[in-house]
């Protein structure tokens, strides 16, 4: 059965997340036969002009949108952010050890991978507090001689987000930006490396965007035992095409970047839209007289992943089931923490948040 645009639900899933409808429509038109190619993109050689042109266009758009300096390398890799958890220490973790924050589930997993490979220094942990807040600059015990500092800009499961770029501690900052990538303006020069699984804000699952400063790139530790595909030099020198890349996924990324640049108007505009959506939803939580209880401290609330609890798990299950029956899907919290979670990434429409807020008020009237 075909799914018409009128039948599409409001998808609050944390990932893969909602994609812009114009992107899906253009991809649908091009799926069988890409214009001028005589075949589907999935049938074309990645060494040919069509695919290399798409990769070049995606990189150029990304550089413009982020105002990325020329001395930063852009890679489109595979394996998700989880592969970067081990790839980062395999390339940069030396005798001095690396500094890691423990802000939630994903930063904890990244640190765990690094510990397999060398020394790790914990600069701050929110574990004892139930991952409800994030560290201030003053609270972070960063060592001036660390090989690098690893942070996570947005913790998807707990709904926490840094609201500013990192301080300059004199060490390279490597940031997992998977769930808030391109959701707001940042200063790329504050980071030695940024990586992001595409399936939240910038494309489908299957491709990971990696942005690496040349200064950090030059610090890759020589290691003849390192698998060639786990070496950043392989992908910088091969321009993300050492082996067959995720062609169709990068094509969708290119279309999403085009939508963000040309239809939305860039990062300032999308940030304003994201703040507007989040403000409406947090207002409904805050004004519910405790019926809905937000998880994250107000000063570090995520614009991408809004998390809350209710009086009981049974009530939460009822909420999720009724919402899904009304065309609002993906509102259950992560299986590791429970509760509710509304992921409202870049492409999520404001109308969907309005619909959810209306339902929340009605549900509270009937169950409060």
Residues designated as active site:
106, 176, 200
Of 153, 144, 157, nearest to 174 by C-alpha is: 153
> Could you tell me the CA-to-CA distances from 342 to 97, 221, 316, 368 in Å, in that order?
37, 41, 13, 21
What three-state secondary structure class fits 273?
Answer: helix
Work out the burial of residue 325: count CB atoms within 10 Å of its CB; fewer than 13 is exposed, 13-18 middle, 19 or more buried.
exposed
Residue 27, token pair as written in the block: 């991809």
Contact (Cβ atoms closer than 8 angstroms) between residue 198 and residue 209: yes
What is the 3 state secondary structure string of 292-353? CEECCCHHHECCCEEEEECCCHHHHHHHHHHHHHCCEECCECCCCCCCEEEECCCCCCHHHH
Residues in the chain: 368
């Amino acid at each position: 059965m075909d799914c018409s645009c009128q039948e599409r639900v409001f998808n609050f899933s944390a990932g893969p997340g909602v994609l812009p409808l114009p992107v899906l429509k253009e991809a649908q038109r091009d799926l069988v036969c890409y214009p001028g190619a005589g075949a589907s993109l999935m049938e074309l050689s990645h060494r040919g002009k069509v695919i290399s042109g798409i990769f070049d266009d995606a990189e150029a758009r990304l550089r413009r949108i982020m105002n990325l300096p020329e001395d930063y390398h852009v890679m489109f890799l595979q394996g998700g952010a989880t592969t970067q958890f081990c790839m980062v220490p395999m390339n940069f973790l030396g005798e001095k050890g690396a500094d890691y924050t423990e802000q939630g589930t994903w930063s904890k997993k990244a640190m765990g991978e690094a510990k397999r490979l060398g020394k790790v220094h914990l600069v701050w942990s929110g574990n004892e507090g139930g991952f409800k807040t994030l560290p201030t600059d003053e609270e972070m015990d960063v060592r001036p001689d660390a090989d690098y500092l690893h942070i996570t800009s947005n913790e998807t499961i707990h709904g926490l987000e840094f609201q500013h770029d990192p301080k300059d501690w004199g060490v390279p900052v490597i940031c997992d930006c998977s769930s808030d990538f391109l959701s707001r303006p940042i200063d790329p020069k504050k980071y030695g490396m940024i990586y992001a699984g595409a399936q939240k804000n910038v494309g489908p699952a299957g491709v990971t965007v990696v942005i690496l400063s040349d200064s950090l790139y030059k610090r890759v530790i020589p290691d003849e035992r390192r698998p060639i595909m786990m070496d950043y030099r392989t992908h910088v020198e091969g321009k993300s095409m050492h082996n067959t890349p995720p062609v169709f996924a990068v094509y969708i990324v290119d279309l999403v970047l085009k939508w963000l640049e040309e239809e939305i108007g860039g990062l300032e505009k999308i940030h304003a839209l994201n703040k507007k959506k989040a403000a409406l939803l947090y207002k409904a939580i805050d004004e519910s007289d405790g019926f809905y209880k937000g998880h994250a401290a107000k000063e570090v609330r995520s614009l991408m992943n809004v998390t809350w609890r209710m009086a009981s798990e049974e009530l939460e299950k009822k909420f999720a089931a009724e919402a899904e029956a009304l065309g609002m899907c993906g509102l259950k919290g992560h299986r590791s923490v429970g509760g509710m979670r509304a992921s409202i990434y870049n492409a999520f429409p404001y109308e969907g948040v309005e619909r959810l807020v209306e339902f929340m008020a009605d549900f509270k009237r009937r169950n409060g």
